[in-house]
Structure 1
Amino acid sequence: MTNTRETGFVNAITAAGVTYSITRACTAGSLLECSCEKGAPKPRRGRESVTLPPSQVPTERWQWGGCSDNVRFGLKKSREFMDSRYRKRSDIKTLIKLHNHNAGRLAVKNNMKMECKCHGLSGSCTLRTCWWRMPTFREVGDRLRDRFEGAAKVIASNDGDSFMPESPSIKKPGKKDIIYSEESPDFCSANLKTGSLGTIGRQCNISSAGTDSCDQLCCRRGYKEISVRDTENCNCQFKWCCEVICETCYVKRNIQTCL
């Protein structure tokens, strides 16, 4: 497998997904080996430690309770499942893969949120019970997408056991960054060898300035526009009881596809 930034993103989000699924299963009681975490997070050395931000340090009016997501167990099992077979190798591809795996797991661990429930007469919140929750996986994916956009290209170091930025002027990537060592292939044209289907015939958005824009998605080849007639529900009314009756309306839409 190549070591492009796309591969790095896939490795990172896969590791994040394994961590997320195992942690969620612990909380749901679906695994015999673990359950949710009770009480305050216990500081531990190493990559599995969970540190409270200063703004979230409990006071005397707080207490830990509920069912915190057991992210430590998810991190541990994710490493065992995804990293164990690569531990004795130190080639550049393995180093990059393990780094991106860990970056994906950190996208889950570092974005844990504290949720609280108030207790007291008339909602006075004289006491709060708090617990840890993982972010939504959409948030995890958004974090990793940002890392993908700023992925750093690296090369093997002279010691053979580490990597360094391709250029001395580039800052060394951190643990949360996605890294790669090979340039991405041309995804504009179909290529059976790389598995690229190209972008010919892809629907694009003429009003967008993002990656789905016709200028970017069509690789500056241009696009064609056709008009289609779609049906949709309209003039809907609620009929007692209990039914919604709608008319069928025809709407005209313009669709752009890449040349």
Structure 2
Amino acid sequence: MEMRLVLVAICLLLVTPIAGSFWTVGNQVVMDPMLICKKTRRLKGKTADICRKEPSLLKEIAKGVQVGTKECQYQFRNRRWNCTTMRRSLRKILLRDTRETGFVNAITAAGVTYAVTRACTMGHLVECSCDKMTSKGNRLDKLTRTVEMEKSLPTEGDWEWGGCGDNVKFGFKKSRDFMDAPYRKRSDIKTLVKLHNNNAGRLAIRDYMSTECKCHGLSGSCTVRTCWRKMPAFRDVGNRLKESFDGAAKVIPSNDGHSFITEGPTIKPPDRFDLIYSEDSPDFCKPNRKTGSLGTQGRRCNSTSQGVDGCELLCCGRGYDTRVVKEKISCECRFRWCCEVTCNTCLVKKTVNTCR
């Protein structure tokens, strides 16, 4: 149910320009995301086309949102803001333009790209297939031929393109069509930031593809290799975007009204891979309905850590309570021939610290 809420909230942000404000999200967020697409009279352009003509693709997009959400929760599991999917919090976070909003948008765009690309490779979509590159045709174009790609190309022996690679070009395009199309004609700072972060998320996959090869020859001699392109593990994508989050740059509208510049002249201008934001984040220490902060009271912390998961930082200096709890674990496991592993259940004492 919790995961369903985040899908609804994000999809509402993507496709529902409700009266009063383009960025306002309605109160009826406890809906199936598929129901949003059924109300196609409000939708236009490529988003509406996906809703009306590509139901299978829409399901993969929903899976991609889940992939992105799970990774967001992993990356922020030990921080004051832990990428909660609680409706009252997430809705407010997405309406703002903070670092956290930027990461959610980027990881969601990456998740959609990843899920759609994987569906193509697995043959789950009739609209696409895997990337069957050959040595004679379908060579890498300039958009996908990056420095990282050049480093991963084989440098020794004979090799040729082949196999069934990941069709990231299709996944990239459909993620852009679904997530960016409703905002393309706008140039306010929130829209510019959103589109930039969406693209940064997709580039964290497309521009970090790796090359995998399979040997062919007598007795594994590897006289010829067939190579194909493969997406990075999504955990690597999350790690890369988390680094961009930590180094995100604050931006302001430029004088031309159609672009942005960094807030301070000494700040390095962000490139396509960097995350950006235009609003400062709250401290997330105490509950705040306006900002979406749930506070950190009751959160578990690490009393021996000096990092972001340490009790001093996570509890915002309020102190913490310590208690001993008993947890069940599997123990005294034995292997029985053939082929079974049996374990006993043991109770172990564990010290738990929670923020006051």
TM-score by length of 1: 0.93
Distance of 2:179 and 2:347 partners within structure 1? 51
Q: Which residue of 2 aligns with 1:177?
A: 274
Structure 2 vs 1, CA of residues 78 and 247 (structure 1 numbering), >3 Å: closer, same or farther? closer
Structure 2 vs 1, CA of residues 61 and 135 (structure 1 numbering), >3 Å: closer, same or farther? same
Q: Which residue of 1 aligns with 2:190?
A: 93
Q: Any gaps of 5 or more consecutive residues in structure 2?
A: 1-94
Structure 2 vs 1, CA of residues 231 and 59 (structure 1 numbering), >3 Å: closer, same or farther? closer
Structure 2 vs 1, CA of residues 55 and 80 (structure 1 numbering), >3 Å: closer, same or farther? closer
**Aligned letter for 1:50?**
R
Cα contact 1:50–1:109 (8 A) shared by 2: no
Query: Aligned-pair distance for 1:54?
Result: 4.5
**Aligned letter for 2:145?**
V
Cα-Cα RMSD: 1.7
1:12 aligns with 2:102: no
Higher relative contact order (Cα pairs below 8 Å, separated by 6+ residues): 1
Q: Which residue of 2 aligns with 1:49?
A: 144
Q: Which residue of 2 aligns with 1:188?
A: 285
Query: Aligned-pair distance for 1:167?
Result: 0.2
Tell me which of 112, 126, 145 is aligned to 2:223.
126
Secondary structure in 1 matching 2:174: helix
**Aligned letter for 1:171?**
K
Q: Which residue of 1 aligns with 2:80?
A: none
Q: Which residue of 1 aligns with 2:160?
A: 63
Distance of 2:152 and 2:330 partners within structure 1? 49
Tell me which of 243, 249, 254 is aligned to 2:346.
249
Structure 2 vs 1, CA of residues 209 and 124 (structure 1 numbering), >3 Å: closer, same or farther? farther
Query: Aligned-pair distance for 1:55?
Result: 5.1
Secondary structure in 1 matching 2:297: coil
Secondary structure in 1 matching 2:102: helix
Distance of 2:157 and 2:347 partners within structure 1? 63
Cα contact 2:152–2:210 (8 A) shared by 1: no
Query: Aligned-pair distance for 1:195?
Result: 2.2
Q: Which residue of 2 aligns with 1:79?
A: 176
Tell me which of 31, 39, 44 is aligned to 2:125.
31
Paired residues, what number?
Answer: 257
What does the per-residue CA deviation read over 1:114-162, in whole Å, with 9 as the maximum and x for residues that have no partner? 0111111222111111100001111111111110011100000011111
Counting strand residues as a fraction of each chain, which structure ranks higher? 1
Q: Which residue of 2 aligns with 1:156?
A: 253
Structure 2 vs 1, CA of residues 42 and 227 (structure 1 numbering), >3 Å: closer, same or farther? same
Query: Aligned-pair distance for 1:60?
Result: 6.2
Counting helix residues as a fraction of each chain, which structure ranks higher? 2
Distance of 2:131 and 2:339 partners within structure 1? 44
Larger Rg: 1
Percent identity at matched positions? 62
What does the per-residue CA deviation read over 1:69-90, in whole Å, with 9 as the maximum and x for residues that have no partner? 0111111111111111211111
Tell me which of 199, 205, 209 is aligned to 1:112.
209
What does the per-residue CA deviation read over 1:203-226, in whole Å, with 9 as the maximum and x for residues that have no partner? 111233332221221112211111
Query: Aligned-pair distance for 1:44?
Result: 3.2
Q: Any gaps of 5 or more consecutive residues in structure 1?
A: none
Q: Which residue of 2 aligns with 1:212?
A: 309
Distance of 2:253 and 2:294 partners within structure 1? 31
Tell me which of 202, 217, 239 is aligned to 2:299.
202
**Aligned letter for 2:107?**
I
Distance of 2:342 and 2:180 partners within structure 1? 56
Cα contact 1:12–1:105 (8 A) shared by 2: yes
Distance of 2:122 and 2:226 partners within structure 1? 20
Cα contact 2:144–2:207 (8 A) shared by 1: no
Distance of 1:235 and 1:4 partners within structure 2? 49
1:3 aligns with 2:106: no
Secondary structure in 2 matching 1:53: helix
TM-score by length of 2: 0.69
**Aligned letter for 1:8?**
G
Query: Aligned-pair distance for 1:99?
Result: 0.3
Cα contact 2:144–2:206 (8 A) shared by 1: no
Distance of 2:229 and 2:306 partners within structure 1? 37
Query: Aligned-pair distance for 1:232?
Result: 2.0
Distance of 2:224 and 2:182 partners within structure 1? 48
Q: Which residue of 1 aligns with 2:79?
A: none
